[in-house]
């Protein structure tokens, strides 16, 4: 899965200068052996982060978890040499240059508070999304890293889904013209974590945040958002936002919309299932649509892209690749942080950028509560 060659479906040899090579893979740092210390040993760390890092050739120094036994199991499964008794023991190790955090959002601020005290050797932090329980806490995490001189990246992994990066390449080249309408249709059943029972919120902050962040990645920041939601019949613990539908309004007329259906009908109650994620972007000069493959996990299913453009009329292009969102996109988030540390630049998934995604999520909750479209600047 570390093969960085494009493998499109066969297409006719076409005269002209239209470029079919899409920049869909992350840039890797020149230095691959930064010492990475991992905090957390659950599914996302064990089966996504660490698998992707091994494929990329990144250097994991060790791992720590609240439960040492879980950390030991993950270390054994992924060939990690060292297990630390505590987070602080890991953070105190001068071999740890990059801290990779995968803990619940209500714990992340306290872990960052510990990590920034070790800024003599800690150069970068990759934090999970959502970055914090509130915009205020997220802003505090960003402030702490800024003051410590530590580069902060946020693990918005859908930005590194291969179909989304290829789509971004098409948009940046102008192959689709001016975007007119973009949509995401999610019919998928997430695995809610036990700690989510402690929160009133659910889908917007945990699932929709991927789509909201990708809309920002692709098109920039919207003016306002309107959210309508109802509870998920399958989820038994209290929550305000189960099935979520929302519209983003942009100043230039672009509209983005998504429905994040975490119910999908009684697929786990005896009926047949119809589960997928589809996306579509319509522009003045082209149309692109595709799928996101993660609902098939653990079956490794690549996302897809199909597009047509007036710049090369008469064809549907269907590039394909072997990489998948889970786990390969996590190579991209860590690679982007390492490149930023190496170059002394701000990562594209920086804490500062992620504050805008958090603000959009918070504005969405306000819209849901007040039953109206809310401008992001009101938040």
**What is the per-residue pLDDT across 296-309, written as a single tens digit (0 to 9) for each?**
999 999 999 999 99
Residue 7 domain-assigned (yes or no) = no
pLDDT given at position 18: 76
Residue 67 domain-assigned (yes or no) = yes
Given a contact cutoff of 8 angstroms between Cβ atoms, the answer to whether 157 and 333 are in contact is yes
pLDDT of 3 > 50? The answer is no
pLDDT of 10 > 80? The answer is no
Residue 9 domain-assigned (yes or no) = no
Domains: count for the chain: 2
- For the chain, the 3-state helix, strand and coil shares in percent, each to the nearest 5, are 35, 20, 40
Task: Give 205's DSSP letter.
Answer: I
- 139, 154, 169 - which closes a domain: 154
**What is the per-residue pLDDT across 11-70, written as a single tens digit (0 to 9) for each?**
444 445 678 899 999 999 999 999 999 999 999 999 999 999 999 999 999 999 999 999
Given a contact cutoff of 8 angstroms between Cβ atoms, the answer to whether 248 and 238 are in contact is no
CATH of residue 124's domain is 3.40.50.720
Residue 372 domain-assigned (yes or no) = yes
DSSP for 93-138? -TT--EEEE-S-HHHHHHHHHHHGGGTTT--EEEEPSS--SSHHHH
pLDDT of 315 > 70? The answer is yes
pLDDT given at position 5: 37
Residues 276 and 168 in one domain: yes
Number of H helices, E strands in the chain: 11, 14
Residues 94 and 63 in one domain: yes
pLDDT given at position 11: 41
Q: Domain limits at 107?
A: 35-154
Mean pLDDT of 329-340: 98
pLDDT given at position 272: 97
pLDDT of 4 > 70? The answer is no
Mean pLDDT of 327-337: 98
């Amino acid at each position: 899965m570390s093969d960085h060659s494009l493998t499109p479906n066969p297409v006719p040899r076409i005269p002209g200068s239209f470029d079919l090579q899409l920049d869909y893979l992350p840039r890797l740092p020149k230095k691959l052996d930064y010492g990475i210390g991992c905090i957390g040993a659950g599914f996302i760390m064990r089966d996504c982060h660490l698998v992707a890092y091994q494929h990329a050739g990144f250097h994991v120094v060790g791992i720590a978890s609240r439960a040492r036994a879980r950390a030991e199991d993950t270390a054994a499964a992924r060939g990690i040499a060292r297990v630390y008794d505590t987070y602080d023991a890991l953070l105190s190790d001068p071999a740890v240059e990059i801290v990779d955090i995968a803990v619940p959002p209500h714990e992340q601020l306290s872990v960052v508070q510990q990590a920034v005290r070790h800024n003599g050797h800690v150069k970068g932090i990759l934090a999970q999304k959502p970055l914090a329980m509130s915009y205020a806490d997220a802003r505090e995490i960003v402030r702490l890293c800024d003051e410590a001189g530590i580069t902060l990246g946020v693990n918005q992994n859908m930005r590194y889904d291969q179909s989304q990066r290829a789509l971004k390449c098409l948009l940046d080249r102008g192959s689709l013209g001016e975007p007119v309408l973009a949509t995401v249709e999610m019919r998928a059943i997430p695995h809610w974590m036990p700690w989510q029972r402690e929160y009133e919120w659910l889908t917007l902050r945990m699932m929709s945040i991927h789509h909201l962040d990708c809309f920002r990645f692709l098109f920039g920041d919207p003016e306002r958002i309107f959210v309508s939601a109802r509870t998920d019949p399958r989820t038994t613990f209290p929550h305000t936002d189960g099935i979520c539908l929302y519209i983003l309004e942009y100043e230039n007329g672009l509209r983005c919309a998504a429905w994040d259906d975490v119910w999908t009908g009684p697929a786990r109650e005896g009926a047949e299932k119809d589960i997928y994620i589809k996306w579509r972007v319509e522009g003045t000069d082209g149309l692109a649509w595709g799928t996101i493959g993660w609902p098939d996990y653990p079956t490794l299913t690549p996302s897809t892209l199909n597009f047509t453009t007036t710049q090369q009329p008469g064809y549907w292009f269907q590039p394909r690749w072997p990489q998948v969102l889970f786990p390969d996109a996590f190579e991209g988030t860590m690679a982007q942080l390492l490149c930023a540390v190496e170059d002394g630049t701000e990562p594209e998934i920086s804490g500062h950028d992620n504050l805008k995604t958090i603000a959009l999520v918070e504005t969405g909750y306000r819209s849901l509560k007040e039953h109206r479209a809310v401008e992001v600047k009101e938040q």
